[in-house]
Amino acid sequence: MNASVAIQVLPEASSQEELIRVVDEVIAYIKSTGLNCSVGPFETTIEGDYDELMDIVKECQKIAVKAGAPYVASYVKIVYRPEGEVLSIEKKITKHHK
Amino acid sequence: MNASVAIQVLPEASSQEELIRVVDEVIAYIKSTGLNCSVGPFETTIEGDYDELMDIVKECQKIAVKAGAPYVASYVKIVYRPEGEVLSIEKKITKHHK
Amino acid sequence: MNASVAIQVLPEASSQEELIRVVDEVIAYIKSTGLNCSVGPFETTIEGDYDELMDIVKECQKIAVKAGAPYVASYVKIVYRPEGEVLSIEKKITKHHK
Amino acid sequence: MNASVAIQVLPEASSQEELIRVVDEVIAYIKSTGLNCSVGPFETTIEGDYDELMDIVKECQKIAVKAGAPYVASYVKIVYRPEGEVLSIEKKITKHHK
């Protein structure tokens, strides 16, 4: 696992319910990739291979558009260590959730 | 609850262990405020009153310095709805964790 | 100069013109502080003393609300080196603008 | 121009000079794409077609690695309006630089 990304997708929407519906479709897409992920209040973190993760990041905005958003603003964090391992989601948060 | 913030604190550290130690002290400080919070892989989200949250954000970097970091880089998201409610952590993530 | 912050303020607004008007008021406020700043396409960077900068960051959202925004989402980057200097705006960008 | 991205690349480096050298290589790469861009203190903004911009974002971390960084952390903002135009860099900042 050489990379991890966290993405927040903010679709333009006519109501809070509509915004939540579009974000839920993006989260469903991320989960459908089968990669390990963690859904947080502002962003969803995914871990895996760098190239695959960046393709997923690119697709997230398209999913929001297909779900009906005319405009999307997203915020992405990327960590990448090509030779080795980045800190895993589990290592980062498990101890804090006890 | 008129606001929510998410903060990632990245202290300069001589090793990964040292970095984790400093971040853990910041998270311990956040938890010590008694406010509702959620620790994620990249950022910790806190919800409450805007003024109190911003004072906590300001303090987080000082906690990292007191814990030994000579330099800190932080990334903060803020949502603020002075008359009303922002989406709660629970409303945002509970359904996705089933 | 022990710190630098970059802030993007996204007010909820009924139109793009209204959004721009509110953002312009926040930028006018930042400039009125007299601190050295740089207005970019997504965020405005300010450099100075850590405590003063964090007070300005806290005020920015209040300025947006006073300007009419019922809701504000902001994204903030902070760098802080209490003993020493952070990289200045000038050092970071001057050579790239030639 | 249906999209705009802003990217901050933070390579792991043994010194500030080395960090600046790697970041400069990433900025040189972005400029070499020929797309309109604006180099700021924390992030570089690029505007153009969504697919092309996301491919550039993906490449930036690889450029930092090729330049010698064993590890990269990046922060990316994306705005995307598939049918229409996003606010241009020029429209966003020109008036503030007078």
Helix axes B16-32, B50-66, angle to 10 degrees: 150
Among chain A residues, the shortest Cα distance to B20 is held by A92
Cβ C80–B58 below 8 Å, yes or no? no
| Chain D residues with beta carbon closer than 8 angstroms to that of A79 | 71-74
Distance CA C61, CA D98 (A): 25
Pick the closest to residue A93 from B45, D50, D57 (CA basis): B45
**Domains of chain B as residue ranges with CATH:** 3-97 (3.30.70.930)
| Chain C residues with beta carbon closer than 8 angstroms to that of D42 | 6, 43, 45, 77, 92
Q: What is the pLDDT of residue C48?
A: 98
| Neighbouring C-beta atoms of residue B37, cutoff 10 Å | 23
Cβ B58–C61 below 8 Å, yes or no? no
How many beta-carbon pairs below 8 A join chains B and D?
A: 3
Chain A positions touching chain B (beta carbons under 8 Å): 4, 6, 8, 16, 27, 38-43, 45, 75, 77, 87, 89, 92-93, 96-97
- With 0-12 CB in 10 A as exposed, 13-18 as middle and 19+ as buried, what is B15? exposed
Write the pLDDT tens digit of every residue in A59-83. 999 999 999 999 999 999 999 999 9
Among chain B residues, the shortest Cα distance to C85 is held by B71
Distance CA B23, CA B98 (A): 28
| Chain C residues with beta carbon closer than 8 angstroms to that of A16 | none
Terminal alpha carbon distance of chain B: 25
Tens-of-pLDDT digits for all 98 residues of chain D? Answer: 999 999 999 999 999 999 999 999 999 999 999 999 999 999 999 999 999 999 999 999 999 999 999 999 999 999 999 998 999 999 999 999 87
Among chain A residues, the shortest Cα distance to D74 is held by A78
Chain C positions touching chain A (beta carbons under 8 Å): 10, 73, 75
Whole-complex ipTM: 0.97
Report the residue of A23, A42, A47, A53 to disrupt the B interface, i.e. the one with the largest count of B CBs within 10 Å: A42
Write the pLDDT tens digit of every residue in B25-82. 999 999 999 999 999 999 999 999 999 999 999 999 999 999 999 999 999 999 999 9
pLDDT band at A85 (very low <50, low <70, confident <90, very high): very high
